[in-house]
Structure 1
Amino acid sequence: MIKKMFFAILAIGIFTTSCSNDDDGPTTAGLTLNLTGLEELGSDYVYEGWIIVNGAPVSTGTFTSVTFPQIFNVDATQLANATKFVLSIEPAVDPNPEPAPTKILAGDFSGSSAAVDSNGIVADFSGASGKYILATPTDTDDTNEASGVWFLDNTNAPPPVAGLTLPLLPDGWKYEGWAVIGGTPISTGTFTKVAATDDAAPYSGSVALPAPNGADGFFPGEDFLQGAPAGTTFPTDLKGATIVISVEPSPDNSAAPFTLKPLAHVVPGNAANHTVIDMGAGPVVSLSGTVSR
């Protein structure tokens, strides 16, 4: 009788162990994101986290909320072996399993955490500076000169030189100028070169702009002369407006300035036309956070 009970217990143990082995799968561990400064993206884009394991990116999941902390379940072995965390901006419907070029935060793991920031993955804006003038070179009317802003330095002109000192951006990013008029941000155009014509001139006049020596076209900027957005009137007077340089995802599905704004300045009420005005540091020069495993 004792032998029968022994073998019965042994059989149950073997059966239980066998079922447990059959059910074994990858175990997961929590990855906690605690990030500051991010803003919600448009409806067509999401944030996606990545851990770098043996040099290859592994997705940790996508999110749209910018309320933190947030916790994601990740394969425990991969997470333990991860050397770096990267955050990218991806299309909401994304056929490409690889990270997009638009990477916004990154940092190396040290033990159980990684300090992440935008300085190394987007750019370091600590040395950024800017100058601009008020002028409307795209028309022949000299009575509305305070209705245009151009990012150039004409102190020793001719010829004028670039007014912006900005680092080159990696793929997936562009600069964009803004004039905040009566609380409404109005774009002066996107650009990647500080001594070149920007990508658009929807509000400027029809006079062609010259290409000064050393410049690839004219300079970034805009005359606010026609086609004013609802709630604004052109020509305008930019004195008292805020001039901003932002860093935008490319492609970008939001009409508003993105969270990274390395340069900004309120145009003085006594600003003189055609005279260089210095910009200051913007409200958001870098983004940062902590990733814990």
Structure 2
Amino acid sequence: MPISPSSSAQAARENVARQLRDLRRSAGLTVTELARACGWHHARTSRVENARTMPSPTDIRLWCRATHATDQAADLIAASQHAESLYREWRQRVRTGLAKLQDDYTELYRSTNVLRVYSPVLVPGLLQTEGYAQALLSMNARLLGVPDDAADAATARVQRAQVIHEPGHRFVMVVEEAVLNYQLGNAEAMAAQLGYLLTAGALPQVSFGIIPMSTRERTLWPQETFDVHDDILVSVELMSAEVNVTQPSEIALYLKAFEELRGMAVYGAEARALVLKAIEALR
């Protein structure tokens, strides 16, 4: 099982906290003296140094000025912002709606040569039809309590998915068979989605595998939804947030898990048979 998916983010936060603590100590300041120089309560200094509170860019500039290390402020601010980008809450990212979020991923997908996707409960985003995506995104909007612009967001998601037709990319996607049976939207929308899987799964640049529910002696239990971008970034989808994993040891573990999952999947005619079975069940 992969290490806690938020560990990369926490490690990055702790690294920033450690550097700030080292600056204070090198300057010969106590926690209270540093706080006084920055104009805040000493408890805030302790929270920052123990990575319980992330410092703002202004906090870091004040800290560096107090420790006579203003030349290090820019790098520390960049490191702090990077740490925050590793764990991003959905509610914050979509507070003005879901459509803008779809565009945010376009460049990432276009810059990825090999994308590995594992999903235990949903059709992968790049293979979603507009009706399926709209039903899903509308549910998300209600859950998160944000504006429901699911129709526009679904259109943007389908447009983003055109990357699978662009040259220079390879997509290896594995889903659990349950994905085919969880109905999102009405029966017509779900049938269209399943029908599209038959088409998309036949594209030469797409490898689409399904792990049958009848698989005996699984080598790995179902995992959380995750994408692996070129062996350098793993994006994990949690209910409340997206976690971006960048530590090589963690990425290696996700790659190992993906290969285990991929090895249990069926492809080609066997996968088509499972999709057709799900379509028939809608009638």
TM-score normalised per structure 2: 0.27
Structure in which a larger fraction of residues adopt helix: 2
TM-score normalised per structure 1: 0.26
Question: Between Structure 1 and Structure 2, whose CA radius of gyration is higher?
Answer: 1
Structure in which a larger fraction of residues adopt strand: 1
